[in-house]
C-alpha cells in the first residue's frame, strides 16, 4: 500500500473525535543499579561504548541520557535519519566535516588519556567535550553498505558516544564485524536477550546477562554476569590484572630462558663448536621443569600491582592495556637484551675467576664440571632473586615457591651428585661450595646483574612514576594510616547483616522472596544475646517498609553495547 502512514494518520483523525479521557497507563522500565556509573567509568578508562538497541529513537536518546552516554557537555548530537542512500551520505559527510573543523581548532580532546597524568584527576568522571552519533535502523541499512561503511566508521570513531536504534539482530552483528575488520581493536559485546546472540558470537569477547529475557545470551557468551554493573569489575579489575600478570609472565619467561640458553652460545667459542654442553644434563632437564617453573606460575596467578578497590576507583589505570604499554615488541626486545647481557656476565665472570685457578692445597679447580656447576648455581640464584624483585604482591605461596625453588635446587643437586645415582658429576657440587672462588664469583655476579636493576627501578619510580606507581604509593600510605594500634572486637555477623540490602541483587528475581519472613525474626531462635542483637538492627517496621519498596520495583536488563 502506498502512503500507508499518511492514510493511517488521516484515519486516526477521523476516529479520534469527541473522546473523553478516562485514564492513562504507563510501564516502569528502569535500568539496573549501577549502569550509569559503570558506563562512565568505562569511558574514563578509554573504552568506547556503542549502544545497539531495538528501541525507537526517542527511547534510545532517553537511555543515552540515563546511562550518561549523552550529557549536556557534548558539543552537538548528530542524528542520522535519512531514508535513502543520498540523504545518509550527505548527513555523514556533513557531520564528518564538522568534526574535522573542530579538531583543527583544538576544541575536542582525546578520549584516551596518557599513561602519565595527574593523580588527583584519576577518579574524575569528566571526559571533556565531544560529539554523539545517533543512527536509526533505516539509515543503518545504507551506512553498512560497502561503499559507505568507511565513511560511517570514520564519523562514529570521531564521536564520543554512538547509539544505534531500531536495529535488527543481524545489523548488530554487522556493526561489530565492521569494527573488527577496520579497527585494530578488541571488541566486547554484552546483551541479555536472544536478539543479542549474533552480536555476542561476532565479537571477540561475548558477555551474556542472565536477565528476564531467557538464557540464550548466556549460553552463547564467553562470560556470564548476573547484572550489567559487574562488567566494571570484570574489565577494570580481573581484565587488568590478567593483562598485568601475563605481561610480567612473558617478560620474565623470555628473560630466564635466554639467560639459560645463551650461556651455551658463549661456551661454544671455547669448545670448538663441538656441541658439548656447559651444564650437567640433569640440570638441563630440571631447569624449566622444577627449578624455575613454580615461581613464574605464582607470578602469573597471584601478582597484582594495586588492589581491586583502587582499580575501580581509578579507571585510568586500565589505559596502559589499551595502548599495549606493558608488553609489545620493544618490551620483548628489552627482555631478550636483558637475558643476553645476563648470560654474558654469568659465563665470563666465572670463566675469568676459575681460569687456571687452584685451591689452597694446590689442586686445580678449573675443570669443566666445576665451571659448569658454578654457572648453573649462580644462574638459578640470579633468576630467583630477579623474580622476587618482579613480584609486587606477596602471598604465602609466593614465598614457598620462590625460596623453596632455590632450596630445592641445592638439595636436589647434592642428592644427584652422590655415588648412589652414578652421576658423572659426583662430588662436584660439594667441591664447588668449598672454594672461595665460587663465593666471590657468586656475590660479584649477583651484584653486577641485580644492583643496576634495583637502581634503575628506584630512579624511574622516583622521577618518572606511572599512574600505577602513584596509586600504589597512596595505597601503602593509606594502609599505614589505617593500621590498628590495638586489637578491636569484631562482630562480623551483626555488621554484615546491618549493611546488606534486603532487595535481591538479581535482575531475574520476579517473585517476592523470603526477606520479610527472615527479617521479621519469627524463625530466629531466642537466646540470651537476642536483646543485644535487636539493639544493633533496625526496627521490624522499617525493614518491612524497605522490603515492600524493593519488591514493587522492577528492573530492566541493560541495553546491548559494543565496546572497542
Parallel/antiparallel/unpaired status of strands 161-165 and 131-136: parallel
* φ, ψ of residue 130 in degrees (nearest 5): 175, -170
Residue 73 pLDDT: 85
Quick one: DSSP state of residue 213? Answer: T
Annotated binding-site residue? 430: no
The label of the residue with cell 526517542 reads: 58
Residue 78 dihedral angles phi and psi, to the nearest 5° = -90, 130
Rg for the chain (alpha carbons), in Å?
Answer: 33
pTM beyond 0.85, yes or no: no
Tens place of pLDDT per residue across the chain (564 aa): 678 888 888 888 888 888 888 888 887 767 888 999 999 999 999 999 999 998 888 889 988 988 888 888 888 999 999 989 999 999 999 999 998 888 777 644 443 333 444 444 444 444 457 899 999 999 999 999 999 999 999 999 999 999 999 999 999 999 999 999 999 889 999 998 889 999 999 999 999 998 777 788 999 999 999 999 999 999 999 999 999 999 999 999 999 999 999 999 999 999 989 989 999 999 999 999 999 999 999 999 999 999 999 999 999 999 999 999 999 999 999 999 999 999 999 999 999 998 888 877 777 788 889 999 999 999 999 999 999 999 999 999 999 999 999 999 999 999 988 877 777 888 889 989 989 999 999 999 999 999 999 999 999 999 999 999 999 999 999 888 876 554 544 433 333 333 333 333 333 333 344 444 445 554 444 444 444 334 334 333 333 333 333 333 334 444 444 444
Residues 325, 34, 129, CA angle at the centre, nearest 5°? 60
Distances (CA, A) of 29 to 53, 209, 212, 546: 15, 17, 12, 20
172 is known to lie in a ligand binding site: yes
Determine whether the annotation assigns residue 496 to a binding site: no
Distance CA 516, CA 545 (A): 10
Q: Which residues contact 309 (CB under 8 A, 6 or more apart)?
A: none
Tell me the C-alpha distance between 545 and 551, whole Å.
10
Give CA–CA dist 322/539, Å, rounded.
Answer: 49
In sequence order, the β-bridge partners of residue 555 are 30
In whole angstroms, give the CA distance from residue 43 to residue 130: 12
Ligand-binding annotation for 97, yes or no, is no
Measured in whole angstroms, the distance separating CA 551 from the mean position of its chain's CA atoms is 35
Report how far residue 333's alpha carbon sits from residue 482's, in angstroms, rounded to the nearest whole number. 42
- For 299-331, the DSSP string reads HHHH--SS-HHHHHH-GGGGHHHHTT-SSSHHH
Is residue 94 marked as binding? no
Judged on CB neighbours under 10 Å (0-12, 13-18, 19+), 299 is buried
Q: What was the pLDDT predicted at 129?
A: 72
- Domain boundaries for CATH 3.40.50 within the chain: 30-109+126-185
Alpha carbon 132 to chain centroid distance?
Answer: 27
Find out whether 55 is annotated in a ligand binding site: yes
Looking at residue 296, what is its pLDDT? 95
In whole angstroms, what is the distance from residue 156 CA to residue 457 CA? Answer: 41
**C-alpha–C-alpha distance, residues 519 and 538, integer Å:** 10
Which regions of 181-222 does DSSP assign to beta strands (E)?
188-191, 205-209
Question: CA–CA distance from 286 to each of 74, 343, 371, 516 (Å)?
Answer: 61, 18, 18, 62
CATH superfamily, with its number, for domain 241-475: Calcium-transporting ATPase, transmembrane domain (1.20.1110.10)
DSSP 215-270: SHHHHTSSEEESSTTHHHHIIIIIIHHHHHHHHHHHHHHHHHHHHHHHHHHHHHTT
The answer to whether 220 and 213 are in contact (CB under 8 A) is no
Which pLDDT does position 483 carry in this prediction? 66
Per the annotation, does 196 bind a ligand?
yes
At residue 267, the pLDDT reads 94
Is 136 assigned to a binding site? no
* 1 secondary structure, DSSP code: -
CATH topology of domain 30-109+126-185: Rossmann fold (3.40.50)
Sequence-separated (6 or more) residues with CB below 8 Å from residue 155: 78, 92, 95, 96, 99, 133
Residue 109 has what pLDDT? 44
Residues of the chain with CATH 1.20.1110.10: 241-475
DSSP H stretches of helix in 464-514: 467-482, 492-499
Per-residue DSSP letters for 132-178? EEEEEHHHHHHHTSTTTHHHHHHHHHHSSEEEEES--HHHHHHHHHH
Closest alpha carbon to 70 in 121, 134, 122, 124 = 134
Amino acid at each position: 500500500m502506498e502512503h500507508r502512514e499518511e492514510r493511517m494518520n488521516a484515519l486516526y483523525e477521523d476516529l479520534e473525535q469527541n473522546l473523553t479521557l478516562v485514564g492513562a497507563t504507563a510501564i516502569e522500565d528502569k535500568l539496573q543499579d549501577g549502569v550509569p556509573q559503570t558506563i562512565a567509568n568505562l569511558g574514563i578508562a578509554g573504552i568506547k561504548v556503542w549502544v545497539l538497541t531495538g528501541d525507537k529513537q526517542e527511547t534510545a536518546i532517553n537511555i543515552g541520557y540515563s546511562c550518561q552516554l549523552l550529557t549536556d557537555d557534548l558539543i552537538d548530537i548528530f542524528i542520522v535519519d535519512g531514508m535513502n542512500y543520498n540523504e545518509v551520505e550527505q548527513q555523514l559527510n556533513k557531520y564528518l566535516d564538522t568534526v574535522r573543523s573542530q579538531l583543527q581548532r583544538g576544541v575536542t580532546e582525546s578520549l584516551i588519556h596518557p599513561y602519565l597524568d595527574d593523580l588527583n584527576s584519576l577518579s574524575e568522571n569528566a571526559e571533556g567535550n565531544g560529539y554523539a552519533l545517533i543512527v536509526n535502523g533505516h539509515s543503518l541499512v545504507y551506512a553498512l553498505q560497502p561503499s559507505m561503511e568507511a565513511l560511517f566508521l570514520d564519523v562514529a570513531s570521531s564521536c564520543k558516544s554512538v547509539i544505534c536504534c531500531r536495529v535488527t539482530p543481524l545489523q548488530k552483528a554487522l556493526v561489530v564485524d565492521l569494527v573488527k575488520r577496520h579497527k585494530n581493536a578488541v571488541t566486547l559485546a554484552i546483551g541479555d536477550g536472544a536478539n543479542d546472540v549474533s552480536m555476542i558470537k561476532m565479537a571477540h569477547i561475548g558477555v551474556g546477562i542472565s536477565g528476564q529475557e531467557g538464557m540464550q545470551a548466556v549460553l552463547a557468551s564467553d562470560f556470564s554476569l548476573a547484572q550489567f554493573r559487574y562488567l566494571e569489575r570484570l574489565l577494570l579489575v580481573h581484565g587488568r590484572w590478567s593483562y598485568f600478570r601475563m605481561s610480567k609472565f612473558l617478560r620474565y619467561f623470555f628473560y630466564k630462558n635466554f639467560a639459560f640458553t645463551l650461556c651455551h652460545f658463549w661456551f661454544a667459542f671455547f669448545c670448538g663448536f663441538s656441541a658439548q654442553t656447559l651444564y650437567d644434563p640433569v640440570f638441563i632437564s630440571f631447569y624449566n621443569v622444577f627449578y624455575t617453573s613454580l615461581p613464574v606460575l605464582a607470578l602469573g596467578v597471584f601478582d597484582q600491582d594495586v588492589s581491586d578497590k583502587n582499580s575501580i576507583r581509578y579507571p585510568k589505570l586500565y589505559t596502559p592495556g589499551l595502548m599495549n604499554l606493558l608488553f609489545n615488541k620493544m618490551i620483548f626486545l628489552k627482555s631478550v637484551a636483558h637475558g643476553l647481557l645476563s648470560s654474558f656476565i654469568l659465563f665470563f665472570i666465572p670463566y675469568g675467576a676459575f681460569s687456571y685457578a687452584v685451591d689452597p692445597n694446590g689442586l686445580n679447580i678449573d675443570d669443566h664440571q666445576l665451571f659448569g656447576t658454578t654457572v648453573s648455581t649462580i644462574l638459578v640464584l640470579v633468576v630467583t632473586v630477579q623474580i622476587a624483585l618482579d613480584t609486587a604482591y606477596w602471598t604465602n605461596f609466593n614465598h614457598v615457591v620462590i625460596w623453596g625453588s632455590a632450596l630445592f635446587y641445592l638439595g636436589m643437586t647434592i642428592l644427584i651428585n652422590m655415588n648412589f645415582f652414578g652421576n658423572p658429576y659426583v662430588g662436584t657440587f660439594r667441591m664447588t661450595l668449598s672454594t672461595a672462588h665460587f663465593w666471590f664469583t657468586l656475590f660479584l655476579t649477583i651484584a653486577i646483574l641485580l644492583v643496576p636493576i634495583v637502581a634503575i627501578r628506584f630512579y624511574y619510580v622516583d622521577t618518572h612514576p606511572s599512574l600505577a606507581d602513584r596509586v600504589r604509593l597512596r595505597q601503602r600510605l593509606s594502609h599505614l594510616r589505617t593500621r590498628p594500634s590495638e586489637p578491636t572486637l569484631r562482630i562480623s555477623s551483626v555488621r554484615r547483616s546491618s549493611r546488606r540490602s534486603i532487595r535481591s541483587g538479581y535482575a531475574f528475581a520476579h517473585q517476592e522472596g523470603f526477606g520479610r519472613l527472615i527479617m521479621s525474626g519469627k524463625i530466629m531462635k531466642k537466646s540470651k544475646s537476642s536483646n543485644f542483637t535487636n539493639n544493633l538492627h533496625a526496627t521490624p517496621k522499617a525493614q518491612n517498609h524497605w522490603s515492600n519498596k524493593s519488591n514493587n520495583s522492577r528492573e530492566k536488563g541493560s541495553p546491548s553495547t559494543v565496546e572497542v
